[in-house]
Structure 1
């Protein structure tokens, strides 16, 4: 049995609109066993004795952040795709060039460094949208899930939890063109063979779980969508899908199927309370109604959506339609959930030319509890008795946060202000440094190994 006690200068507790000062958090075997606000308390429990062995956490302590949508290997593109014009499709060609160079060893090294970078940013759980299944020529490794196993191992080294969203990716267009070139390694032939391979991967690591993903309506034929959805539902596993990210894909879906991608997914049973639609940048009003009626969640990835010039999704309309909002760093142009959270509000201001769409508490929920639930870890993302002891402490004395009231941290702080991170009660980051991974050095080496000359 391992126990620890932490005294947070400020802690953001569930249902509170702003942080609470002086909170004692007690942890046993990776779970929070007591949460005691001390300010204004009376009696011996508020005295010196109870604090003697408590470690102080100066700053604001929030629940662990959840990165709901990640493509770990995209991190190798940061700063390399910004010097010329283009759009999502031209960026994708550069991405495929990196994908073509990865093998289990180089992927393990890169993902370990990327996940450790996430830990430095206060991220305690990541959803990896994984479709690099096979060899570059499309042939299977001796272990058909070797690339997925590399990601599970990478997350263990980095000290964070992982939901591996095993992604079905079968065609290159909505009309059913076959995979070619670098895309060949993504495919399993059909959804039945995808399900057979995915079913064979059952990691026993306590930090990892397996979910499912439909890459998009252009990558999974309509008559095979239900196979993926049924696989996820039979396992009570999360199901994710890229949705309405690009006008071109939406237009092609209307031409081929006579309906929007959202309507097509609804027709084939993909939407539902365990489903998270990623992006939803260009929905119709009817799409939002369908998503809300099916209680589907939405993961917004604002830094990637702006980096790729995808557009600004109607976040407030989504929330008002009952869609649970979560956040992801997607292509890792930036790994900073504080930036993703405030971008939800700031993008709405650009879209509507009005201020004040989301409260700080709503943004906190999107970055924490809602995100963890979307990845199948509903017992995380809250500083509450019984929850996983994921605690992220943010400095209030940096050049960015000095003079900022704790409630304003999501509008001021960056990932660089994260000082300490506990994951399941274990310290992973202390004084802004990862305890086991030299993150800058490992990022540099692993990216150099997979970047085309």
Structure 2
């Protein structure tokens, strides 16, 4: 039976409108009109399309508030991350990911791109079902009310020319052909499931030698599926790549068929002008993760230059130091202000598009992230009367520059009510997170 919601204000493709009726039939929007609420359920505030978290590592959530003590850099943080990775099993990962995805839903996220490389047992041996960890992530997303693009990562080496060691052993399949066999079985398990997209990932050029990249790219092409890769997050990584291969990571991905409209370069922080051109001309998405990039002291990527050259920008919470895509969106602008000493690089509507339509498209859901008939029925309503948003008005600027995840009070994901009055259907998400993280530690 169709359901109708009356949005006090709604961000539509042509701007913000008042008094918008959204009729939902099943998982999709059936009709969008203007009118009086009549018997429709009222959504006070500004309703926007569901947000897409284009880059997530669910288990990193256990590191929040732990890795921020003392000095260090990306590489010291990575050792702490490996310690968490070594302790996870399928049941523990299901519980943790379910809580993390519920936290995302509370923040207005209706689709997650999970960059998944925690494949096998701690000793590197596959589980009886070699994809059981991936299945746990899909189940967790469904229970939390999110769609998921499970981006299964090929991870073969511990560094340029270095074997896997320590916790990394459980990440690898041995070679790209064995990765492809496992990934094909994973894709087959979810064939026909509209809310699950099985994509591929090149963990990074340091973890996947160039000769193996075409195998991962071929999987993406064969399945018309997303292909994501960590790219140029660290200056040291770039230098080692050039020393080993006489080419930047972007150049290697370009030469081996891994760039294009279905591809996403994550971070893309330290790029040459040639890199920017290759990403832009190929239409490759670029996922910026500002809260992680500043937490790890990575740097500030050239987001506006990439966008102007033709690379759509998306957003991710990555390590989950913060799960708040409004914060990620405004950080893209604010970080560029720090780097350039100028204001006004982005319009709020451009940043909100990065958090919605562009993000969904990069995850294989091009029919999401818009309040139009036929789109996925994802409605996220932000209150405009909180201490943060009061007086800001019903505008994209109010959402991007004033609101936080705490101002989301209603989330409908794929036609399913997931959040009401700021509370998730699963219950106390804070308690869920505390229990699962404490057990993991």
TM-score, normalised to structure 1, is 0.95
The answer on whether the counterparts of 1:301 and 1:330 sit within 8 Å (CA) in structure 2 is: yes
1:192-207 alignment runs, 5 A limit: 192-201=177-186, 202-204=188-190, 205-207=193-195
Partner-residue secondary structure (3-state), 2:54: strand
| Equivalent position of 2:303 in the other structure | 315
- Tell whether 2:123 aligns with 1:137: yes
In structure 2, the partner of 1:433 is: 423
- Residues 32, 388 of structure 1: 8 Å contact kept: yes
| 1:66 pairs with 2:52 | yes
Per-residue CA distance 1:261-301 (angstroms, 9 max, x = gap) = 11111111111111000000011111001111211110000
Q: 2:371 & 2:211 partners in 1: Cα distance? A: 43
Superposed, 1:207-222 pairs within 5 Å as 207-222=195-210
Partners of 1:256 and 1:345 in 2: CA distance: 35
Task: Could you list the structure 1 runs, at least 4 aligned residues long, displaced by more than 6 angstroms after superposition.
Answer: none
* Partner deviation per Cα, 1:198-244 (whole Å, 9 max, x = no partner): 11113334422200000000000111110100111101000000001
Q: 1:241 aligns with which of 191, 210, 229?
A: 229
Residues 94-243 of structure 1 aligned to structure 2 (within 5 Å): 94-174=80-160, 176-201=161-186, 202-204=188-190, 205-243=193-231
Write the distance in 1 (CA, Å) between the matches of 2:428 and 2:137. Answer: 18
Secondary structure of 2:270's counterpart equals coil
1:22 Cα deviation after fit: 1.1
Question: How far 1:52 sits from its partner (Å)?
Answer: 2.5
Cα separation, 2, equivalents of 1:426 and 1:53: 19
SS at match of 2:224: coil
**Structure 2, gaps ≥5 residues long:** none
Q: State the distance in 2 between where 1:142 and 1:184 align.
A: 17
Count of residue pairs brought into register by the alignment: 436
Q: Is the 8 A contact 2:281 2:311 kept in 1?
A: no
Residue among 30, 38, 49 paired with 1:52: 38
Structure 1 CA distance, aligned partners of 2:52 and 2:351? 12
Give the alignment of 1:74-93 within 5 angstroms. Answer: 74-93=60-79
User: Does the CA-based 8 Å contact 1:116-1:437 persist in structure 2?
Assistant: no
Q: Deviations over 1:305-345 (max 9, x none)?
A: 00000000011111111110000000000000000000011
For the residues of structure 1 that align with 2:17 and 2:71, how far apart are their CA atoms?
A: 47
Question: Which residue matches 2:360?
Answer: 372
Q: Secondary structure at the match of 1:354?
A: coil
User: How far apart, CA to CA, are the structure 2 residues paired with 1:233 and 1:27?
Assistant: 33
Contact 1:277 1:297 in 2 (8 A): yes
Distance 1:367 1:61 in 2: 14
What is the aligned partner in structure 1 of residue 11 from structure 2? 12
Which blocks of at least 5 consecutive residues in structure 1 are unaligned?
A: 39-45
Cα offset for 1:259? 1.1
User: 1:403 — aligned with what?
Assistant: 391
For 2:178 and 2:424, the matched residues in 1 are separated by 39
> How far apart in 2 are the matches of 1:91 and 1:31?
42
8 Å Cα contact 1:168-1:220 kept in structure 2? yes
CA distance in 2, matches of 1:52, 1:59: 17
Return the match for 1:279 from 253, 261, 267: 267
User: Is the Cα contact below 8 Å between 2:280 and 2:307 reproduced in 1?
Assistant: no
CA distance in 1, matches of 2:366, 2:257: 23
CA-atom RMSD, angstroms? 0.9
| Local SS of the residue matching 2:387 | coil
Taking the aligned partners of 1:111 and 1:29, their CA distance within structure 2 comes to 26
Distance in 1 (CA, whole Å) between partners of 2:189 and 2:432 is 25
2:322 alignment partner, SS class: coil
Secondary structure of 1:406's counterpart equals coil
2:371 matched to which residue of 1? 383
Q: 2:26 pairs with 8, 26, 29, which one? A: 29
